[in-house]
Amino acid sequence: MNDIETIKTTKTAGNEPARGPRRSRAGILAGSTALAVLALSAGFLVLDGAARPSHAIQAPPPPPSVLVSEPLRQDVSQEVHLLGQFSAVDRVELRAQVGGTLSEIDFKDGQIVHKDDLLFVIDPRPYEIKLASAVASVQTAKARLDLATSQLWRAQQLKRTDFGTAENVDQRSNDLRAATAALATSDEAVRDAQLDLEYCRVTAPFDGRINDHQVSVRSLVSGSRAGASATTLLATVVSLDPIHLDFDMSENDFLAFQRAHTPGQLGETVRFRLGDEKHATHTGKLDFIDNTLDRSSGTIHARALVDNHDLFLVPGEFARLVVEIGRPTPSLLVPDQAVMLDQSQSLLLTVGPDGTVIPKPVEVGALYKGLRVVQSGLLPTDRVIVDGLMHAMPGTKVTPTASAIHFAADDGRD
């Protein structure tokens, strides 16, 4: 019994050292298993994170805001904008009608002159001598006429008493007629000499402004009442009040004007502005339309008569005209800045019911009180983008805000 117990004890004691390594391998296996579980868990976490979106990504921005408005409805006259130039109603070149030495200049260059004001004096002495000679010739002709009258009376008396002949009477009658004609010729010579003497004094033909003198005192001038080209130009006078405003209309504009007015009708009011003005606040009356269309330019000449009481307007100055060529018709108007140009056509950006930007090709007309007339391509109910065009792209969404279109407060209808 003791031996058996000893053997068991010995086996048991011999097996004790083997228990240590078995526990180490079990611990390593357990650790490896734990690492595998952790790695697998980490893999699921990574896959789960890749599958779900991150909450840090921002949401897309809202559509941009724009101001929209329906087009303004207004009765608008069909108008055309033209370039015109002022010209004098009367313009006269003062030329010498008699030759001689210029002795006086009685004005200052560029001044306003009035009708019959003395401007130039040509030395009158040669023409005074001519007039005196003509007057003397008249006296001689009168004396000859008196003599011829007396001789005819005596010849007639002698013929009654048979002391004279009919031939003598006829001769004296012819002498009387010749003396009468000579007197008439002398009288005309006096009138001619008086006219030359009058032309020695050059006066203003009407109220106006004179330019600078073209000759100086003591200059020898040549003149002719026939208006020959060799006459000396002294100065030029132009009238200032009223003044003409000349312009040309195209054939289409003229046809529209003819259809809207009685052919040949004049007196229509035209508006205009000067080069340094923004609005057409001045007016004139249409007083002339030419009778022929210019074939080379396809235009017809017309003009308006403008009052110039303050003499502010000057011939040769330019102006911008507004001419009404059609009667008022219902029209749609939008701000001029809302009109976009796409190559050769005009566009307006509108907003549909769903907020989509829709471009619309339109045909536009002239400006009216600062707004652009839309002739076709737009409906009265369209919502036109009037502000925020830079944020609106065709086909994109926008957030429309209602607005209103108004006329410019200081506009002058140009």
Q: Which residues contact 58 (CB under 8 A, 6 or more apart)?
A: none
CATH number at residue 279: 2.40.30.170
Both 113 and 232 in one domain: the answer is yes
pTM: predicted TM-score of the whole model, two decimal places: 0.66
Rounded to 5 degrees, φ, ψ at 383 are: -95, 105
The SS3 of residue 316 is: coil
Both 343 and 282 in one domain: the answer is no
Q: Residues in the chain, how many?
A: 414
Condensed to tens digits (0 to 9), the pLDDT of residues 322-364 reads 888 877 888 899 998 999 888 788 999 999 999 999 999 999 8
Both 119 and 134 in one domain: the answer is no
Confidence of residue 409 (pLDDT cuts 50, 70, 90): low
Condensed to tens digits (0 to 9), the pLDDT of residues 277-328 reads 888 889 999 999 999 999 999 999 999 999 999 999 999 999 999 888 877 8
Both 333 and 313 in one domain: the answer is no
Q: Provide the domain limits for residue 228.
A: 95-123+201-238
7, part of any domain: no
CATH number at residue 136: 1.10.287
For residues 237 and 210, the answer to whether their CB atoms sit within 8 Å is: yes
1, part of any domain: no
Amino acid at residue number 20:
G
Amino acid at residue number 352:
G
